[in-house]
Every structure is written in C-alpha cells, then in structure tokens.
Amino acid sequence: MRSFEARGVVITGAAGGLGQALVAAFLQAGARVLALDCNATALAAMQEAMSAQATGHALALTTLVCDITQPQDCDAAIAHAVALWGGVDVLVNNAGISHRSLFADTDPKVIRKVMEVNFFGAVHMTHAALPHIVARRGVVAALSSVAGYAPLLGRTGYCASKHALHGFFDTLRTEVQERGVQVTLICPSFIATGIGAAALGGSGAAATAPRITTGGESAPQDIAQRILAALAQGRTQLLPDRTSRMAWWASRLAPRWYARAMQRRVRTEFEK
C-alpha cells in the first residue's frame, strides 16, 4: 500500500465538485496539495472553505490559478510545486469539460476546445511533471469516463478526448512502469458535480438539453475516496461504480446490444 503522508500532490480542476473532494481526501490522508484551476474565484472560495474547517489539513493546501491548455502555465505550476516540496509525488489530471450536441449540429471548434482541455491539458501537465514523478517513483492519474471506452451519443468530442486519454496513458505506462512510476486511469460514470450543467452545446454556448443519467449519480466524496484507495493499491484502472463496471463488460462482450441500449436511453436528450 502506498502512503500519501507528507507526499506532494498536484490536482488540476481542483475547484470543481470532484476536484474539491479529491483535495479534501488527499489532505485527510496527510498529503501536501497544490490545487490548480483556471477559475480564480472558485479556487479562492475552496481555500477559504478548507481553512474554515479549522483543521491542520488546511495548512498543507496551496492554490494556484492555472490554465492547463497553456504549456507555460503547466510548467510554472510544476516549478511552483518543486519549489514548495522539492519534487512531485502524485499528479491527478482531473480537469475536464463536456459538450452535449449531435455531431451534425456541432461546430468543430467545440470539439477542438474539449480536446484542448481534456486531452492536451493532461498531456501538457504530465509532460511538465513527469521528470519529477520519475525521480520519486510516483503516480500519474487521469480522470477518464465510461465515455473513454464506450460510445455515448451526442458527445463525439467528449468521447474522443477520453478515448485519447486511454491511448496516451496506457502507452505512457509501458514507458515508465519499469522506472517505478504508476499510471492509473479512473473511469466513473455519472457524478453529482457541475460538469453536466457546464457542458457546451453545439455552438459553443451552454448546452440547453437536460442531461440523461443512468444508474444515478455518485457523490464526489465517495468517488474521491475510491480513487485514493485505488492509487494506494497500485491499480492501473478504476471502475468506481456499478454503472461503469456494467458498461465496461457490456461494451466488450455485447457491443451492438450496448450501443442500442445506450441510444434508446440517451437519444431523448436531442429529440425536438
């Protein structure tokens, strides 16, 4: 079991629902956390809320505004972490955005924006952090999704970005695992965070169709604890809920059945 006591942990998208839950979970495990987000207001509110809990954990939290789509921001964030702790032990690529729109109704610029955040943002941050993580035989984790291994109607760009994470991180694992680095992909289904409400529509404005979920929504605090346990156990992939596990097996053993069932469930989002 890997311990996070006094370890340096960098978390992107830290001001969102799951991001805040991950920050709290790592602090409770004794880690030192650098919380990154592009939303300065939300980041400040999170830091204030953590401090208001009146625990020693808040003293181990540092926040920094960072746009992960900008390589220079990622380099600066990791340099800041190294200045604080002398290195980096864990990187959690959690930041992400979504869109809900049929491809025929979607401006390709929307898909490019989703790829820039979900895929290239993780690539930039991982590239900046990797030498330090290798030096400490640490962990790189990436938040994928059921959409990372199965189709999801009306989310071509989102699925593409998450599928790309699997190709990238599964291959990265083969390059660094013999040097003691753990690479973990986390694939939840639906979590009660703000990502659905913040999804882009086909024009790039906010999506207006209500999000259809399957199997209910998990609490971000529960998913964060499951992620922490998976990283401590050295797992390479985490399917943290019943829906994600069922989708994994169904999409592999009966892909045509899975696609039809998914279409029946989700297509009502886009019926006019």
Task: Find the CATH number of the domain harbouring 121.
Answer: 3.40.50.720
Structural domain count, the chain: 1
Dig out the tokens for 24 from the structure.
Answer: 């709290």
Kindly tell me if the per-residue pLDDT of 210 is higher than 70: no
Confidence of residue 195 (pLDDT cuts 50, 70, 90): low
SS3 of 186, please?
strand
| CA separation, residue 264 to residues 32, 189, 245, 258 (Å) | 45, 17, 20, 10
What's the mean per-residue pLDDT of the chain?
A: 92
Dig out the tokens for 193 from the structure.
Answer: 């965070």
Residue 191 maps to a domain: yes
Average pLDDT of span 121-138? 98
Q: Which helix (H) or strand (E) holds 62?
A: strand 61-65
Nearest partner of 184 among 245, 126, 242, 131, judged by Cα? 126
Catalytically active residues, by annotation: 158
| CA separation, residue 144 to residues 78, 128, 189 (Å) | 22, 20, 9
Residue 2 maps to a domain: no
Confidence of residue 271 (pLDDT cuts 50, 70, 90): confident
Query: Is the whole model's pTM more than 0.85, yes or no?
Result: yes
Residue 3 maps to a domain: no
Kindly tell me if the per-residue pLDDT of 56 is higher than 60: no
Name the least confident of 37-51, 130-144, 153-167, 230-244: 37-51
Kindly give the residue spans of alpha helices, DSSP state H, lying in the chain: 17-28, 40-52, 71-85, 108-115, 121-135, 156-176, 220-233, 242-253, 255-266
Name the least confident of 140-149, 161-170, 260-269: 260-269
pLDDT per residue over 157-170, tens digit each? Answer: 999 999 999 999 99
Residue 212 maps to a domain: yes
In the chain, the percentage of residues whose pLDDT exceeds 90 is 80
Contact between 9 and 211 under an 8 Å Cβ cutoff? The reply is no
Residue 183 maps to a domain: yes
Residue 109 maps to a domain: yes
The answer for residues whose C-beta is within 8 angstroms of residue 192's C-beta and 6 or more apart is 17, 217, 218, 219, 220
Dig out the tokens for 120 from the structure.
Answer: 């290239």
Sign of CA dihedral 53, 66, 165, 256: positive
Q: Which domain holds residue 177?
A: 8-270
The residue type found at 203 is: S
pLDDT per residue over 76-89, tens digit each? Answer: 999 999 999 999 99
Kindly tell me if the per-residue pLDDT of 145 is higher than 60: yes
Residue 222 maps to a domain: yes
pLDDT per residue over 227-253, tens digit each? Answer: 999 999 999 999 999 999 999 999 999
